[in-house]
Amino acid sequence: MAQLTIFNRFSQMITFALTGEIPTAPLTNRLIIAENQHYTLPRNVTSIRVLSGKAWVSHLGKDTILERDDIMEIDPSRDIAIVTSLAYKPVELELM
């Protein structure tokens, strides 16, 4: 039997289709942060993408505002990252 290895974020979906095994982790992680709330990202998150709303991200001593479809790389080995919703609306994120 040949082994297929694909290095991208859809590899679990392809593995599931080929083997019929249930993936052990979710294919994507989505997070909604309510208005005026904040969230500390787990250490295993290496990037975030804003799906809707606006986010204020504090990481490595810098504050960054992200809007829809913006992606930010996170260095999990350095410091924690805190995400806050902006504009009195929830923000929806994809955690990668």
CATH number, domain with residue 31: 2.60.120.10
**Cα torsion angle, 16, 24, 33, 79, sign:** negative
Domain range enclosing 64: 27-95
Does any domain span residue 1?
A: no
pTM: 0.69
Angle at 56 between CA 50 and CA 62, to 5 degrees: 120
Does any domain span residue 15?
A: no
- Structure tokens, 56: 């204020």
pLDDT digits (tens, 9 = 90+) for 40-58: 998 888 999 999 999 999 9
Does any domain span residue 4?
A: no
**Range with lowest mean pLDDT among 8-12, 26-30, 31-35:** 8-12
Q: Which residue has the higher pLDDT, 74 or 8?
A: 74
